[in-house]
Chain A
Amino acid sequence: MSFIGEIIEITIRSVTISLSATILSSLWSIPLSLIIARSRSRMTKALMGVLNSLIGFPTVLVGLFLYIIFSSSGPLGGLGILYTPFAIMIGEALLITPLLISLSYEIFSKAYYEYWETSITLGATPAQAFMKLITERFEDIIVVLLIGFSRAIGELGVALMVGGNIRGFTRVFTTTIALEVSKGNFDIALFLGFILLIIVSTTSAIIRIMGGRKSD
């Protein structure tokens, strides 16, 4: 495959994996953050403190932890997902969970009384109230997801440990950059870094524009 072809392929793979990881993570992160926002007990407030401190958790430790679990001799070895894109997706989804919960908690803790309580008072079921809350704060939630996506696509530790940087299969931006540096090909590494920068800064531009529109 040509050089450009390979870079396009890596770009598509990286975006796909990190986007899937973000969606996957939101499936549990958003409901969880709502549960935490609703609770008034000290336990959940303490839990928020723990989650906040986990935001900066070293990615390579998440990778090592998942490697031990997914390894053939590990508890989930039978699934055979080590060194596949699924492993990276799951790893990134777990990695950004504290970030997503913490950011959406900020949204829900404010919006909760406004929408949830009102909907319930007006006779809505919890499912309907949940939908109302999500609908009213949809743009904010998208912003949260994009922040999570930026973190996922830029991490190296998980992708390297459980992805294995296999050519044409689990090779993503960050692992390619690491490999090209180890080959001494700084020019290629810089070029890839530049593409990654464009993706991440486009994402954050979208975040800013959406954030700006909302206040109109």
Chain B
Amino acid sequence: MMPMNERKVKYALALSIILLMGIASTYYFLYNQSVKIRISTTTSLYATGLLDYLYDEFKENHSNVVVQFIAVGSGAALKLAEQGDVDMVFVHAPNLEADYIKRGIITNHTIFAYNYFIIVGPKSDPAHIANLTPIEAMKSIYNSCENGQALFISRGDQSGTHQRELLLWNLSGLNPFNKSWYIETGSGMSETLLVANEKNAYTISDIGTFLKLKGDGRLPNLVKLVDKGKILINIYSAYIVETAKTNSDTQKVIKSLMKFILSDTGQELIGSFGVDKYGQPLFYPAKGHEDELREIWQWFVDLAK
């Protein structure tokens, strides 16, 4: 480096401050260019790529709109809504949702997609749960874990999947908490599935994330063992957040985004997403089953009470 003199140092200081202000104002300018809405979403919708896929289509007709997704567990997604930091939420935890609806934080309940939770486990299936009902499967897993033949991995993060797991334990009348074979990862669905794969353990997953990772060859040791039963239906709902500080522009965008998701185009996109890559849809559109799904949603809320 060249020897420094005071003038050069002053230039350097001035230059760096100008640079800083330039960057700040550029971001600020870009930031205020368009109508921006924020959506906190469950990780299973985001990590599969569905939301970016839908958004890219939506953007075709709404080029001045920026939709920002914040992918967290359903519990955290609703918490962000309560804090007023997001304009919409996409979640799949009916009992948590009901609580936030009651408190007036989220409104305009819209069921837009569904799929299934599945119980997955090692190929050898030491608990022999294949083709059992979900509740019987949980009991069988519990017994074989107690005999030291298996492990169970839990999300442990207040996500929609974790809520459903707790409901299943509850309905089975069993209490696995604090058992040495009950492992809480406290992380997302993919990480949890990877842990289950490494440890040859049982876990509960949404079918979308499982199919994606399985299709990518990441889960050689895990297979889908139980996937039938009303109790395993996984309902994805969208809400408008009342506590968000929105203006009329953003409200218009929120309404048209809701409309787009429920439109024929939007629903078709949801139903066809991933078919080319994984051989079957990761999500099913809600269209045509609205009343049925709403009933099941309410059933879950009542069950969890």
Contact = CB atoms under 8 A, between A and B. Distances in A.
Interface of A: 16, 20, 23-24, 27, 71-74, 77, 82-86, 131-132, 134-136, 138-139, 164-167, 169, 179, 181-186, 210, 213
Interface of B: 1, 4-6, 8-10, 12, 16-17, 19-20, 23-24, 27, 31, 38, 43, 47, 49, 52, 66, 68-71, 83-85, 187-188, 190-191, 194, 212-213, 216, 218, 243-245
Given A72-B244, A131-B10, A182-B43, A165 B1 contact: no
A20 B85 contact: no
27 contacts: A20-B19, A20-B24, A23-B17, A27-B17, A71-B84, A72-B85, A72-B245, A83-B38, A84-B31, A85-B27, A138-B4, A138-B12, A139-B4, A164-B38, A164-B68, A164-B70, A165-B70, A167-B52, A169-B68, A179-B47, A181-B191, A182-B188, A182-B190, A182-B191, A183-B49, A184-B190, A184-B216
A85 B68 CA distance: 13
Given A71-B83, A72-B245, A182-B190, A132 B6 contact: yes
B244 A213 contact: no
Closest 4 CB pairs of A and B: A72-B84, A166-B68, A164-B70, A138-B4
Contacts of B188: 182
A126 to B, nearest CB: 15
Contacts of B38: 83, 164
A86 B1 contact: no
The A contact surface, by secondary structure, is helix
A86 B21 CA distance: 12
B73 to A, nearest CB: 11
Nearest to B215: A184
Nearest to B216: A184
B70 A83 contact: yes
B244 A20 contact: no
Given A164-B70, A186-B218, 11 more contacts: A20-B24, A24-B20, A72-B243, A77-B84, A82-B85, A86-B24, A131-B10, A167-B68, A182-B43, A182-B187, A184-B190
